[in-house]
Amino acid sequence: MSTLIQGDQLRSLVLGSTTVSKASGTLSAATFNMFTVSGGEVLVTSLYLKVTTSITTNGGTLALQTAPTTGDAVTVVAATDLGTTDSAAGSLIGVDGRIADPATSGATFTRVFVKGGPALMGLPVTTGVINLVGASSVNGAVTAYVNWVPLTNGALLVAS
């Protein structure tokens, strides 16, 4: 039996570009430029994190934001505590959407990081950067993986 399409070809057809990755280095209460978008808009078709050094500090949070060259910075994934219940090296961190209780706070939608959750999909991003934002006493390290397709001719996403 012959293989008509290879895994990398299928991945490209479904998710777009070759996977781009960026290691955070040691996490701290800082902003880490992970990916740079230039030349217009792109659509992030898949984004997830892999823990490379265990995250173990209680209350240490991590968020994801887009910071365009022109326009407002947007928190895409709310600050999420990944250390109170340790996130061991090798764990995959996805994104989950949660709707707050409409009885108390209206129907607000918030994305949070979740161990073993699905990849973030369908995120349009314009020229600027995609950042991880550490807060409190977050520790450990992650590598972020992203796939994307250009929405504007000439748009490009690269590791920062």
**pLDDT, block means (10 residues), the chain with 160 residues:** 71 76 89 96 95 88 95 93 91 84 64 93 96 88 94 94
User: Distance between CA 135 and CA 31 in Å, rounded?
Assistant: 9
154: left (phi over 0), alpha (psi -120 to 50) or beta: left
pTM listed for this prediction:
0.87
The DSSP 8-state label assigned to residue 2 in this structure reads -
Strand partners, 124: 43
Nearest 5°: phi and psi at 35?
-135, 145
For the chain, domain boundaries = 22-150
Tokens coding 143: 């590598």
pLDDT at residue 113 in the model: 93
Q: What is the pLDDT of residue 57?
A: 83
Strands 42-53 vs 92-99: parallel, antiparallel or unpaired: antiparallel
Predicted local confidence at residue 34, as pLDDT: 96
Residues 6+ apart with CB under 8 A from 72: none
pLDDT score at 33: 95
